[in-house]
Structure 1
Amino acid sequence: MPAETVDARVLLPDARLKKGDYVRYYLLATITSDADLPFSTSHSFLLPAPREVWVAVYARTPSIWTNAPAGMHILERRQDFPEFVHGGCEAVNVVVDAHTGETLGSWCNVDDRQNFDGIPRPIPTYFPDGSPLRETS
């Protein structure tokens, strides 16, 4: 499925997030576990067989990482995939099945900014029922 179609169908981890607020980087990849992803996850997973997916990272603009205009970029090489650490929903990670276009998971980064009430900020996540990326334990 073309990246443009995938981008139009992606489900984000929080309904308040809008794709138009982000620079969106997509890379076609084959994964078998969380170790194959170009970003971190909150849990581990192991797929029964390799799966072709679009991996994407969204960076809010403007933010500490970019002032580039919002929009989609298709990357050809993993070494060109940007790495954004922490920042909460300033960065969103996405995994989409390359053939069906189904969002297998999306989640915001850890948010370690100061929280005045002392309660840790929850990390918004989206893992549909039946997703092979879903935490099983």
Structure 2
Amino acid sequence: MTNRSAPPSSVIPVLRYPDIVAVAAWLKTAFGFRERLRIGGNHRIQMHASGGHLVLHQADIEPSRSVSIMIRTDRIDELFETAVSHGAVALQAPQTHMFGERQCTLQDPFGQVWNFTQTVEDVDPASWGGEAIEL
């Protein structure tokens, strides 16, 4: 069953920020995310993020620095450059890893850490020391 009031993703990160309107605007400009739904005026904002979704939640606390979010993209280098040009802090520039993913890490101007990943090759996990349990 689907519900037009809820994102259709099976995992939905909820990120707390003191000003979600500013964060949503920045995420749209820097990462290319799109707003899906606003709830309670500006209490919560649902967003499309590549093939998934996330929720921004209005809170009077700083975001947790112990949590990061990974978003799949098909344009990692362009996204990285755009985000940095809009004030993101580059924690790790795009780098291709032996497991077939090109990844970067950015911190938004509001303190949240974001990891982006782009598949560049189909790699057998056993070739780099991984152990496939249930693919």
On whether the aligned pair clears a TM of 0.5, the verdict is: no
TM (norm. structure 2) is 0.26
Larger Cα-atom Rg: 2
User: 1 or 2 for the larger relative contact order (CA 8 Å, sep ≥6)?
Assistant: 1
Higher helix share: 2
TM (norm. structure 1) is 0.25
